[in-house]
């Protein structure tokens, strides 16, 4: 083994470089649904390579504990990945984000707990990574609890923003004290981590469901940044590169999603949609219902149908039935397309994942900017469990909390059919003006059951 000693460090560094290349190529491949699966595999191979290379590090301790942790984590991840429902995927992503941030914070905690004096640069990077990682961890836990239904969608403290500001200052002050007081005082370190964890939870508590996709993306960026900073602390190039890549990608995605809602990130964090003030669209009139038979007839004899899926489709597990219906309509000569809003669902790309699971071809799924002009030429816009992303109040009512948010122009279609379980408002609590339009009809019931009835009626018309 001693003869190989001169080659070990170059081998480790070379492995980290190859892993970094695989991370970047994998992330690039994930930008398209066609290559996303391959991208995930490439990034996974890169992570495996970096992990194996780490075990070659000279003088590495606690190898047994590391192997146990890897084994436990692998089993839990495999089991949860195989058993998680598609409707629960957003909260799974949220908690996985949180675990990454928590791991980064734990690295800093271990470095401070050694009782050794760290250089100002290393201590500063460790504290900054700990702050960001702890906020991402506790905030993601709150997001998980909200999405899982374990707590109210929104909970706002009196003087919420003042509490946020004071707690932020206290946390930063404690972090500065830890950095300047090397070796770190254990009491200060504990107080710093408690304050950082509390800050993440307090900031996330008021944020409602409509903003949750952006928040999940933001915490993903936080986790990447925290991991990158702790990579500098440990001198680990793999952590540095992986963290920077994830942090940069998450930041760009967060900006794109915030722009898709036409809301600055500061408003999402500090003026949640449910508390932004103003009315809910000033809608008047009543909703008019139609039967599955009527809906089947309208779509069966249409030339173009655009389907707009939302979280209601996910809850009802209706994506397979929706695709079955779409194929029946196509057999009858109807052109069918799917329109996806950037923030539809409860996480980035939620609807794309559901439709891909059902087998919908990628070339039938269109983003907002690619499909919006076609609604005016569509005979039917079929909205399944979506709310804010098709609400015309975003264009017309300046006092609406969603005013200015780009929406899918479903109301421009000749006929609009909305599949909805009842007459209540959506997850964000905002009334939808689309449901009261003259060209809109409501198809009440669970999406899977309703679409199954539509399918049965379409089949009779084709017999």
- The catalytic site residues sit at 388
| Separation of alpha carbons 336 and 167, rounded Å | 51
Maximum distance among all alpha carbons in the chain?
Answer: 84
E runs forming strands in 365-448: 365-367, 380-384, 415-420, 440-444
Collapsing DSSP states into helix, strand and coil, what is residue 309?
A: strand
| Partner residues linked to 338 by β-bridges | 307, 365
| Separation of alpha carbons 347 and 339, rounded Å | 16
| Separation of alpha carbons 132 and 316, rounded Å | 36
Locate tokens 């699971």: which residue?
Answer: 357
Collapsing DSSP states into helix, strand and coil, what is residue 35?
A: coil
Measuring CA to CA, how many Å separate 283 from each of 207, 352, 393, 463? 25, 31, 9, 42
Locate tokens 């009196």: which residue?
Answer: 158
Q: Which residues of 370-392 are buried (b: 16+ CB within 10 A; e: fewer)?
A: ebbebbeebbbbbbbbbbbbbbb
Per the rule left: phi > 0, alpha: psi between -120 and 50, beta: everything else, 90 is: alpha
Structural contact between residues 430 and 388, judged by C-beta atoms closer than 8 angstroms = yes
Q: Which residues of 54-70 are buried (b: 16+ CB within 10 A; e: fewer)?
A: beeeeeeeeeeeeeeee
> Among residues 142, 377, 385, which one has the least CA distance to residue 272?
142
Residue 377: partners with Cβ closer than 8 Å, 6 or more residues away: 304
Phi first, then psi, for residue 354 (nearest 5°) are -60, -45
Q: Which residues of 241-269 are buried (b: 16+ CB within 10 A; e: fewer)?
A: bbbbbbbebbbebbbebbebbebebebbb
Structural contact between residues 423 and 352, judged by C-beta atoms closer than 8 angstroms = no
- Cβ contacts of 42-48, under 8 Å, gap ≥ 24: 46/18, 46/19, 46/20, 46/21, 46/22, 47/19, 47/23, 47/242
Q: Count, in order, helices (H) and strands (E) of the chain.
A: 17, 6
């Amino acid at each position: 083994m001693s003869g190989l000693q001169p080659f070990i460090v170059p081998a480790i560094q070379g492995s980290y470089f190859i892993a970094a290349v695989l991370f970047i190529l994998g992330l690039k491949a994930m930008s398209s649904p066609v290559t996303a699966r391959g991208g995930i595999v490439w990034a996974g191979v890169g992570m495996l390579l970096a992990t194996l290379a780490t075990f070659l590090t000279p003088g590495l301790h606690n190898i047994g504990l590391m192997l146990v942790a890897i084994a436990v984590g692998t089993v839990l991840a495999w089991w949860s990945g195989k058993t998680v429902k598609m409707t629960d995927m957003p909260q799974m992503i949220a908690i996985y984000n949180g675990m990454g941030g928590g791991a980064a914070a734990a690295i800093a905690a271990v470095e401070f707990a050694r009782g050794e004096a760290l250089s100002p640069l290393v201590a500063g990077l460790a504290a900054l990574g700990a702050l960001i990682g702890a906020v991402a961890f506790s905030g993601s836990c709150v997001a998980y609890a909200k999405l899982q239904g374990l707590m109210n969608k929104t909970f706002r403290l009196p003087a919420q923003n003042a509490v946020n500001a004071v707690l932020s200052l206290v946390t930063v002050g404690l972090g500065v004290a830890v950095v300047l007081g090397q070796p770190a005082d254990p009491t200060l370190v504990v107080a710093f981590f408690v304050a950082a964890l509390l800050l993440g939870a307090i900031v996330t508590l008021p944020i409602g469901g409509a903003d949750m996709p952006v928040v999940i993306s933001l915490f993903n960026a936080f986790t990447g940044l925290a991991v990158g900073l702790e990579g500098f602390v440990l001198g680990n190039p793999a952590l540095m590169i992986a963290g920077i890549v994830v942090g940069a990608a998450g930041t760009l995605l967060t900006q794109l999603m915030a722009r898709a809602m036409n809301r600055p990130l500061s408003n999402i964090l500090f003026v949640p949609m449910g508390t932004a003030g103003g009315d809910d669209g000033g809608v008047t009139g009543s909703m008019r219902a139609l039967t599955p038979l009527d809906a089947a007839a309208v779509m069966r004899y249409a030339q173009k149908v655009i389907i707009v899926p939302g979280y209601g489709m996910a809850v009802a597990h209706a994506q397979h039935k929706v695709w079955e219906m779409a194929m029946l309509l196509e057999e009858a000569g109807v052109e069918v397309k799917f329109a996806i809003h950037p923030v539809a669902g409860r996480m980035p790309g939620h609807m794309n994942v559901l439709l891909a699971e059902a087998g919908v071809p990628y070339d039938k799924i269109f983003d907002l900017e690619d499909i919006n002009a076609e609604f005016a030429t569509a005979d039917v816009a079929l909205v399944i469990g979506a709310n804010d992303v098709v609400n015309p109040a975003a264009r017309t009512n300046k006092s609406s909390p969603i005013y200015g948010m780009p929406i899918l122009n479903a109301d421009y279609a000749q006929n609009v059919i909305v599949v909805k379980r009842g007459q209540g408002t959506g997850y964000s609590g905002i009334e939808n003006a689309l449901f009261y339009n003259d060209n809109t009809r409501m198809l009440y019931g669970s999406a899977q059951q309703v679409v199954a009835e539509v399918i049965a009626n379409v089949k009779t018309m084709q017999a």
